[in-house]
A and B are shown apart, each in its own frame.
Chain A
Amino acid sequence: MSEVLVDVQGVHKSFELGMTKVRALRGLDLQVQAGEFTAVVGASGSGKSTLLNLIGCLDEPDEGRIVLGGQDISHLDDAARCKLRNRKIGYIFQAFNLVPVLSVAENVELPLLLHDELSAQERGERVAQALVDVELTEFATQFPDRLSGGQRQRVAIARAQVTRPALVLADEPTANLDSETTAKLVDLMVDLNQKRGVTFLFSTHDEKLMGRVARVVRIRDGKVAAEAA
């Protein structure tokens, strides 16, 4: 039996929107096993992104507890959260979030700059391997504005897994892509999950992707509504 990588226990999260208080998560529980490929599905506003932000240490829960790799990450200080994000988590964003003035290889190398234990040569080797994985080796010196949407998101995937994180979080990674590119991208993530054993947790509202993922967690009104394998 594989170990639990992510354990979300009774998490609540609310936001103030003007005079209105929005309860995004209402006592949500979720466990993700190491090496799993999990999709979090739900309507807009259901709390998918909030859940991923909390697991990814980009935000803090109001109540409840989140354990990542055996460590309670609910209320760490900023330096510890930064280190955790850099070492254990990879991010793939809906809008790619590449740095426009950096080349493809430089974008992928970015999180490795905080790995003092790696030499420049080792960083270069890791970047090269990550680009091979996403089939973008020939674009290494290009800048993001010369790439298609699918290529940019592949760069983001390479960047997310170049640090060899325990968990890759992808928030609506295919929302800005056409269906053909979306399918290729999901296949790429599944392939990386199977080959490298990277745990993927991604949110989507695209029901067509459900058949391609191992586990689907459906969220409604800030709680897990249903699960399917």
Chain B
Amino acid sequence: MKSAWAFAFANLRRNRKRNLATVAAIAFGYAGLVLLGGYAVRIERFLKANAVFIQHANHVAVWVQGGLDNAAAEPDKYQFDKAQTDTILAWAKGDKRVERATRYLRGFGMAGNACATRPANLLGIDPQEHAALLQHPELLEASPELARPAQGQWAYQVKDAPRGVALAAGLQKVLQKPKVFDEVRGRPPAPTVLDCDTPKAVEQLAADADIQIVGQTYDGTLNAVDGQMVASFHAAEPIAEDTAMIVPLASLQTLYATERITYVGLLLHDSADAGQVALDLKAALAAKDMKTDTYTYADQTWAPYYVGTMAFLGSMVGFITMLVTAVLVFTVAGAMTLAILERLREFGTWRALGFERGHVVGLLVRESLLVSLIGLAVGLAIGLCAAFAINSGGFRFSPPGVAGSIQLLITPAVWACAAQAMLLPPGIMVATWWVVRGQMRKKPVDLLNAATA
């Protein structure tokens, strides 16, 4: 005798066209969800890499307590001194979960071209530490395009420019420096005094990649350092496009006449440890009388662009998933209703032979479950093939903060496919149970005499 499952499977052969249509509806619906989930996973990886490596959130960041809000106004009070920095670096070195630590100094200043100055938002980072971030496999896997400057090369790649700086493309434009260091190397330098008020100025400014950075030391003295513009880049936020500048940490510390840093970023071997590492670090520093705030890349206050975008994307994907699932559930419920109405006499026979209502309901629920599982399997195959085709198609688009375009990639994740697939069978089972239950309330004699049989 066939098992209940085998019997349910055999019944699927009865109305092949209708069952095929139902399977196709589930398959294409689920394939759509696989693609949507794959797109969301890809975007999540991209945004996370952007936040962690490009916007320098790292997996965990540690600030002086209150520093995130106050360091800009009172840098002397809300930044780490040398000893505190060393304490943090020593803790990071001793923790196996930490891959590397990066020091950052943030500040304001003026960027000048010898004719004019513009406000600048300065980020100081050691070029070698910057190199480690930009060459990180997680970033390169997520999107190698993120690691490339819009023009030129990063400071760590230009050996003969010890004070190499990178400007946001908008700031580069307003400073009238169209060529980076590599492009003007070996050319005659611009005159010491430029003809700023004449048309010649444009040509003279473009002759070199020299930049002057002016700032106020922490004790209130005006100071300046020189830099060579080795690269330009696109800022993630349009408002930073005209002001952002990346400066070697040593240069920025010289400008502010300080050894202090603003925060330390920690890259972890596994980003899933971020929450615990943040807690442990905060506790360890507190034990050494250091009051700190620690943030993870998933903290809204520290990485608002990533967290906010993912929250929006998550709700959108969730809503569409629920919508598609509901449509598929009602599709299957409709098909099962037809199947049930056509087979009322058979169910009457089952009941006449002694089978209880639950037996018949169980049989039909099995049938609907099989339809949905077959549909899901086919849908997964279609979704994966479509993802492969899209990835092979080389479609490109330009997200903010990226030089040029990046490839549209769909990367379905096992957990996302499984989560979406797990929604459907219970919904279909409940819908089938609901439809069958109503019919099975009838007396066996009414089932046997059903007009639709």
Residues of chain A at the chain B interface (Cβ within 8 Å): 53, 56, 58-60, 78-79, 82-83, 85-87, 91, 93, 95, 97, 99-102, 106, 109-111, 113-114, 120, 123, 159
Contact = CB atoms under 8 A, between A and B. Distances in A.
B260 interface: no
B7 A102 contact: yes
A58 B349 contact: no
Interface of B: 1-2, 7, 10-11, 13-14, 345-346, 348-357, 443-445, 448
Contacts of A101: 7, 10-11, 13-14
A150 B270 CA distance: 73
Contacts of A120: 1
Closest 7 CB pairs of A and B: A86-B354, A101-B10, A58-B445, A97-B349, A59-B445, A111-B353, A58-B444
Contacts of A56: 352
Nearest to B354: A86
Given A78-B357, A79-B356, A109-B1, 18 more contacts: A53-B445, A58-B352, A58-B443, A58-B445, A58-B448, A60-B443, A82-B355, A85-B354, A86-B353, A91-B349, A91-B352, A93-B448, A97-B348, A97-B352, A100-B14, A114-B353, A120-B1, A159-B353
Contact of A106 (B1, B349, B350, B353): B1
Given A58-B444, A106-B2, A111 B13 contact: no
Contacts of B354: 82-83, 85-87, 111, 114
A113 B351 CA distance: 13
Contact of A97 (B2, B346, B357, B443): B346
B443 A85 contact: no
Contacts of B448: 58, 93, 97
5 contacts: A58-B352, A86-B355, A102-B7, A102-B10, A111-B353
A78 B1 CA distance: 26
A91 B443 contact: no
B445 A114 contact: no
A53 B348 CA distance: 12
A160 to B, nearest CB: 9
Contacts, number: 67
A102 B356 CA distance: 19
A82 B443 CA distance: 11
A12 to B, nearest CB: 16
A113 B356 CA distance: 12
Given A82-B354, A101-B14, A93 B349 contact: yes
B1 A99 contact: no
A203 B444 CA distance: 19
Contacts of A113: 1
Contacts of A86: 353-355
Contacts of B14: 100-101
Contacts of B353: 85-86, 91, 110-111, 114, 159
Nearest to B11: A101
A61 to B, nearest CB: 12
A113 B346 CA distance: 17
Contacts of A58: 351-352, 443-445, 448
A123 B1 CA distance: 10
Contacts of A83: 354
Nearest to A111: B353
A102 B2 contact: yes
A114 B355 contact: yes
Contacts of B349: 91, 93, 97, 99
A34 to B, nearest CB: 21
Nearest to A91: B352
Q: Which of B1, B354, B443, B444 has the most CB of A within 10 A?
A: B354
Contacts of B357: 78
A78 B445 contact: no
A62 to B, nearest CB: 13
Nearest to A56: B352
A120 B354 CA distance: 19
B366 to A, nearest CB: 13
A56 to B, nearest CB: 7
B64 to A, nearest CB: 73
Contacts of A97: 345-346, 348-349, 352, 448
A181 B14 CA distance: 29
B410 to A, nearest CB: 40
Nearest to B441: A78
A99 B355 CA distance: 14
Contacts of A59: 443-445
Contacts of B2: 102, 106
A132 B450 CA distance: 33
Contacts of B355: 82, 86, 114
